[in-house]
Amino acid sequence: MTAADPVVIAGFAVEAPGGIDTPRAYWSALESSAELIGAFPRDRGWPLDELLSVSELDGWGTVRDAGGFLTGAADFDPAFFGIAQREAIATDPQQRLALRVAWRALENTGLNPGALAGADAGCFIGCSPMEYGPPGAQVNEYSGLRIIGHGLLSAAARISHCLGLIGPSMTVDAACASSITALHLAAAAVRDGDCEWALAGAVCVMGSPIAFYEFARHNALSADGHCRSYSDDATGTLWGEGAGVVVVERESRARELGHRIHGRLLASHHNHNGAGKPILVPRTDAQERLIRSTIAKAGIDPADIGMIEGHGTATRAGDPVELRALQNTYGAAGSAPLLGSVKSNAGHAQAAAGMLGLVKLLLAGQHGRIPPTLFADNPTTKVDWERSSLRLATKVEPWEPRGGQRYGAVSSFGAGGSNAHAILAMPVNEENDDA
């Protein structure tokens, strides 16, 4: 495949907090500046009294009764997917959610998910750790089912098995960089001829509140129950959930089959921070190196980028590091790209965070409008905004095309030091229908 036949996104689906399960509902929430944050779920058996009082421990931060939780995380129709009831109960909700969203992404593309057995299609799914259900070292009616039901490998394998896909199948765990890394691997598989087309996505449903405990110990959680990405009022991140899946294929194949071109993946790249700092600490030099490499692979003028969907965790360490990397690359290019993060709406969906950001970028490209980032009216003073042309998206703004395309970028950075970045071009002459 050559540059004249790029990898494109031909369909997608999303689920987000607030009961959102369609791209149309997702876009409506983003454009209206909705904050999709709610109280902790009361049906997961979490020790909420202990969790909400950890601030009383020496050196621990505050945990608020707030997060971006999926309202339908437990919903599933096993018979529809040919899964026995007992097996479904022993299966982590993340697998069930990924399967449901993958099905909808295929329908959005114009494919019949029930008629794909034997398809030379890949599946690359980013996933958060699976902590669902009782420990596997127990003898009960679910013994023998948990090796797959609780296995991280099964986020992708479950989809490939249920749909009968025979291409490469892989679950990706690059922490919060899993989504864009999965997209990168899926595109590479299509580009290299490992499969004709592929599903790329990510999912996060929290089986336990361990992430809240861990970040409370690091004093890196939001003190007020809001995720204030890039804001001077930010005190830490706020955890969330969600899922998104896209269908990637060569543009020539999409055109031949009459699939819509939602976006062309001009380039993607991933790297690691390396040694020198603690493993949890992000690094500007690594992120800047990543962005420069992706820009070079894309072969575009960085000044053409109109929207950047950033990571924006709202942590004191993460946001300034990311902003400096963006300022040294896109900000120094002389244009005025609008920067934001969907985490301000829905919290930090961990492995699925980048996919929620990617779908936001695709929808903004379709509609020609860039939605606002919440709490962006008081930008962080940890970086010099005067030095660059970066701007935070504080309101809905028009996104003017350049040469018939809207160019955008999306970043994801993982707690273990993994970084991922992608650059896309959204055509403006495709029919606008994101239902």
Q: What residues are labeled active site? A: 176, 311, 348
Are the C-beta atoms of residues 185 and 5 closer than 8 Å to each other? Answer: no
Task: Kindly state the DSSP code that residue 37 receives in the 8-state scheme.
Answer: -
Are the C-beta atoms of residues 423 and 408 closer than 8 Å to each other? Answer: yes
Q: Are strands 197-204 and 121-127 parallel, antiparallel or unpaired?
A: parallel
Q: How many Cβ atoms from other residues are within 10 Å of residue 173's Cβ?
A: 19
Are the C-beta atoms of residues 8 and 262 closer than 8 Å to each other? Answer: yes
Rounded distance between C-alpha atoms, residue 241 and residue 435, angstroms: 22
- Structure tokens given for 351: 């492995």
Residue-wise burial string across 191-206, b where 16 or more C-beta atoms lie within 10 A, e elsewhere: beeebebbbbbbbbbb
Residue-wise burial string across 39-57, b where 16 or more C-beta atoms lie within 10 A, e elsewhere: ebbeebebebeeeeebeee
Question: How many Cα atoms within 13 Å fall on the side-chain side of residue 102?
Answer: 32
- Structure tokens given for 207: 């089986």
Sign of CA dihedral 341, 102, 188, 430: negative
Nearest Cα residue to 119 out of 160, 178, 158, 64: 160
Amino acid letter, 280? L
- 204 phi and psi angles, rounded to 5 deg: -150, 115
Rounded distance between C-alpha atoms, residue 71 and residue 81, angstroms: 21
- Structure tokens given for 264: 């062309």
Amino acid letter, 200? A
Rounded distance between C-alpha atoms, residue 365 and residue 306, angstroms: 10
